[in-house]
Structure 1
Amino acid sequence: MYEKVVAYGLSKKEAIEDYPFGPEPLVLKVGGKVFALLRQANGICQVSLKCDPVIAENLREQNEAIKPGYHLNKKHWNTVTVDSTFPLEDLYSMIDHSYDLVFKSLTKAQREAITMRIRATDL
């Protein structure tokens, strides 16, 4: 499960992995900004993702596996405990949302540079 989640996060445009806090958590970034933090213990994966505050609250109310961000701003981050019962498609949608929020927060120049590099590799 953990490997699938990491692979999906790294499939996002110019996503990179980093370890700024030591061996854990694995941090996924775009444009130098964090969009996901992942850790695994005892076969259980935890993923912290940025989220629109209103959506974050709704997700927490709908699923007990989703809690306020662990050691993060509780308003803007959720931590998801992912086991074999948590639908990967739901998690992938949450990763997409987090990535999009962070990508949109980059400067116009950063967004354009990323888009240009992606177009260049598509040729």
Structure 2
Amino acid sequence: MTPRELRAACLALTGAREEFPFNEATSVFKVEGKMFALSALDDVPLRVSLKCEPDLALRLRATYPAVTAGYHLNKRHWNTVELDDSVPDQLVLDMIEDSYDLVVARLPKATRHLLGWRTGS
């Protein structure tokens, strides 16, 4: 996955925005002001940090050496994925969507409705 593909995948989600609250090099992808992905898109190797259910986070870390506990984030709820082609692109896309869903699920019901979000969507 390239930086362009990563950015496009994050921004394809309804209501997603890219912001730079930390520095000009670190893209923070948010929905309704809440972060669901974080990446320094120009870094080599390319990495992305994503929110994850704690049990799944542990399973992914055990399965893929490129998936580690979230760098500078709550390690129970965040994974950092090195995009070195060892983790299938479809799985990374699923992880991005799961991270987004975890954030949206905690938004007010009216906001979820405006985003067209349904549980498990």
Do these two structures clear the TM 0.5 threshold for a shared fold by scoring above it? yes
State the aligned residue count. 115
Contact 2:64 2:86 (8 Å CA) reproduced: no
> What amino acid maps onto 2:34 in structure 1?
K
Match of 2:43 in 1: 41
How far residue 2 of structure 1 moved from its aligned partner, in angstroms, is 1.1
User: Aligned partners of 1:56, 1:66: CA distance in 2, in Å?
Assistant: 9
Partner of 2:88: 87
Distance of 1:74 and 1:82 partners within structure 2: 19
1:78 aligned partner, one-letter code: N
The percentage of aligned residue pairs carrying the same residue is: 42
- 1:105 maps to 106
Whole-angstrom CA distance in 2 between matches of 1:24 and 1:57: 28
Q: CA deviation at 1:109?
A: 2.3
Q: Tell me what 2:22 maps to.
A: 21
Q: Is the 8 A contact 2:64 2:87 kept in 1?
A: no
Partner letter of residue 63 of structure 1? Y
Equivalent AA in structure 2 for residue 17 of structure 1: E
Aligned-partner residue type, residue 98 of structure 2: H
**Cα distance in structure 2, aligned partners of 1:97 and 1:113:** 19
Structure 2 unmatched ranges of 5 or more: none
- In terms of fraction of residues, the more helix-rich structure is 1
> Matches of 1:32 and 1:110 in 2, distance apart?
12
Could you tell me how far 1:24 is from its partner in structure 2? 2.7
The RMSD of aligned alpha carbons is 1.4
1:74 is the counterpart of 2:72: no
TM-score with structure 1 setting the length: 0.88
Name the SS of the counterpart of 2:102 in structure 1. Answer: helix
Shift of 1:23: 1.0
